[in-house]
């Protein structure tokens, strides 16, 4: 395989900026590309929350600017080079756009920033200008989600005659169709693209009378991927999963492939995790028990040996099944269980969890923060991890849970269906507990089976170990991306 120059464009990348799975993936995948011998540059915005001193960012270009929205707009470019992983990160800075207390949502109104379109148009344009300035010609431009989706359109119009990008091919990865970057139709002009890219001809960006950034990317990128094979099928077949884009996706079926996300085991592995108090391995699980004792003390929950501790770490949004928890709460907390929840998001779910906590103070503790260290401690301490998602493009927490011996109870949807094998009590095989319907009783039935299995220590240990032995490292998934990149780069 020849060496490729891969440009990654995203709104997040761990460890610099991360609100969920997207950040984890863009943090890990480039490292694997580099390890496999390719040259990778990752571009993300220079958010105010990214500490220049902590990450030792180096200003590489002082005076950059581009023409957008009828004016010349300055920006900065900072670099982080990791000599160990060989990945270069670049940060596009413009304080007015990116120096804010949060990435996408205004914490005061709880709504998306009204200029999110301008912010990411500017970001995409600045990325293209920056690689030109660096004189670094990418073979493949790998785009993530709606924030990077205008780039194929820019390459086909603004830069159509630009020799610099002539051999560049684009791949757009969909991490979640629930977020498409939809704006009022009159905002299309902010992209400064030919009218026919909205109406007529390709109609790439038009979506029920509005402008849809993700749709523009889905129509115009050379290849499309999403983050699990099952989600790739689901999003083409129904509007529930396709979120209105199922037709476009079905049309591009030949160019769409599902590649499962991997896990960065340098960060998420109980044998080397520095964020957990006690480390452990599949051969010696005693540290896991100590992690549970520590977390229960921290959470001020009484330690009950017979009760499995259920962990949940997720955004508090409709996607993640919190309404099922609401419906099931009485029956759930009547069971011999305890629960620790960590999440941020909708106030209605904050309120719900506070109410349940008040009702069952010795059974539930809920934390409302984005706290990475606590997330690691919950993964290590919990016995069961619950993910009753309405939809789940891939899901990473069930993969982390498997590695941490924390048995996942999941709905059979998207990446959850691809990665967790339902426990078969007759054959004594499986790595978790799976339910089908998006339904409170179906969820309770699966939790009930898990709680019953927890009481049978030999069976339980078998399930725990089967999960810990599964391997979801990035290597094989990265190779699938690279095969795709090779194929289009050569064409």
Stretch that binds ligand ADP, among 19-27, 88-96, 186-194, 200-208 (CB under 6 A): 19-27
467 counts as binding ligand ADP under rule CB under 6 A: no
**Packing angle of the helix pair 322-334, 440-454 (nearest 10 deg):** 50
CB of 357 to ligand ADP, least distance (A): 16
Under rule CB under 6 A, residue 432 binds ligand ADP: no
Task: Tell me the closest approach of the beta carbon of residue 323 to ligand ADP, in angstroms.
Answer: 16
* Pick 75 or 435: Cβ nearer ligand ADP: 435
**343 near ligand ADP, judged by CB under 6 A:** yes
We find the least distance from the C-beta atom of residue 18 to ligand ADP, in angstroms, to be: 7
Note the helical H segments in 238-321. Answer: 239-242, 246-251, 286-299
Distance, CA of 154 to CA of 379 (rounded, Å): 42
Considering the complex, state which of residue 4 and residue 342 has its C-beta at the smaller distance from ligand ADP: 342
**Per-position DSSP letters for 127-192, written without gaps between them:** HHHHHHHTT---SEEEEEHHHHTTHHHHHHTTTTT-GGGTT-EEEEEES-TT---EEEGGGGGGG-
Three-state secondary structure call for residue 37: coil
| Region from 68-76, 240-248, 272-280, 365-373 binding ligand ADP, contact rule CB under 6 A | 365-373
The secondary structure of 256-272 as a DSSP string is: EEE----B-TTTS-TTT
User: Of the ranges 94-102, 108-116, 210-218, 313-321, which one interacts with ligand ADP (CB under 6 A)?
Assistant: 313-321
The answer to whether 18 touches 50, Cβ cutoff 8 Å, is no
CB of 336 to ligand ADP, least distance (A): 26
Residues 154-183 that bind ligand ADP (CB under 6 A): 176
> Residue of minimal CB distance from ligand ADP?
21
CB of 120 to ligand ADP, least distance (A): 18
Complex with ligand ADP: residue 131 or 374, whichever CB lies closer:
374
Q: Identify the H or E element spanning 91.
A: strand 88-93
Q: How far apart are CA 389 and CA 419, in angstroms?
A: 14
Partners of residue 220 on adjacent β-strands: none
> Which residues fall within 8 angstroms of residue 289, CB to CB, at 6 or more apart?
none
**Which residues inside 366-425 make contact with ligand ADP, applying CB under 6 A?**
370-372, 375, 394-397
Q: Which residues bind ligand ADP (CB under 6 A)?
A: 20-22, 24, 176, 313-315, 342-344, 370-372, 375, 394-397
């Amino acid at each position: 395989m020849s060496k490729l120059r891969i440009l990654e464009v995203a709104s997040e990348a761990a460890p610099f900026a991360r609100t969920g799975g997207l950040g984890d993936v863009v943090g890990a995948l480039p490292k694997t590309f580099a390890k496999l011998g390719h040259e990778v540059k990752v571009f993300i915005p220079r958010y105010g929350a990214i500490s220049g001193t902590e990450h030792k960012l180096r200003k590489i270009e002082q005076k950059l600017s581009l023409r957008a929205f009828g004016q010349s707009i300055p920006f900065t470019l900072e670099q982080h080079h990791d000599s160990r992983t060989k990945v270069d990160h670049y940060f596009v800075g413009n304080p007015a756009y990116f120096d804010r207390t949060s990435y996408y949502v205004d914490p005061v109104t709880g709504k998306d920033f009204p200029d999110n379109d301008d912010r990411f148009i500017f970001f995409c344009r600045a990325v293209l200008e920056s690689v030109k300035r660096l004189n670094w010609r990418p073979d493949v431009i790998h785009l993530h989600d709606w924030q990077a989706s205008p780039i194929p359109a820019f390459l086909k119009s603004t830069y159509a005659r630009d020799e610099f990008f002539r051999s560049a091919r684009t791949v757009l990865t969909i991490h979640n169709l629930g977020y498409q970057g939809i704006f009022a139709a009159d905002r299309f002009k902010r992209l400064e693209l030919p009218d026919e890219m909205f109406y007529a001809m390709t109609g790439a960006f038009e979506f029920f009378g509005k402008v849809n950034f993700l749709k523009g990317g889905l129509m115009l990128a050379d290849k499309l991927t999403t983050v699990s094979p099952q989600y790739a099928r689901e999003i083409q077949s129904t509007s529930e999963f396709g979120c209105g884009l199922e037709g476009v996706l079905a049309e591009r079926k030949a160019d769409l492939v599902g590649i499962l996300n991997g896990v960065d085991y340098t960060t998420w592995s109980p044998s080397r995790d520095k964020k957990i108090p006690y480390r452990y391995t599949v051969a010696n699980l005693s540290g896991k028990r100590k992690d549970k004792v520590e977390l229960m003390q921290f959470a001020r929950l009484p330690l009950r040996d017979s009760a499995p501790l259920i962990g949940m770490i997720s955004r508090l949004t409709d996607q993640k099944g919190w309404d099922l928890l609401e419906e099931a709460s009485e029956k759930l907390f009547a069971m011999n269980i305890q629960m620790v929840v960590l999440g941020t998001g909708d106030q209605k779910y904050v309120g719900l969890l506070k109410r349940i906590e008040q009702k069952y103070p010795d059974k539930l503790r809920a934390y409302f923060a984005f706290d990475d260290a606590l997330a690691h401690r919950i993964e290590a301490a919990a016995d069961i991890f619950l993910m009753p998602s309405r939809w789940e493009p891939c899901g990473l927490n069930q993969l982390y849970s498997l590695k941490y011996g924390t048995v996942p109870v999941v709905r059979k949807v998207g990446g959850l269906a691809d990665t967790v094998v339902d426990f078969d009590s007759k054959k004594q095989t499986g790595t978790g507990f799976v339910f089908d319907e998006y339904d409170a009783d179906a969820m309770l039935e699966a939790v009930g089976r898990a709680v019953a299995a927890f009481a049978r220590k030999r069976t339980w240990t078998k399930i725990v170990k089967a999960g810990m032995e599964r391997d979801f490292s990035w290597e094989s998934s990265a190779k699938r991306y690279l095969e795709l990149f090779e194929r289009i780069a050569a064409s």
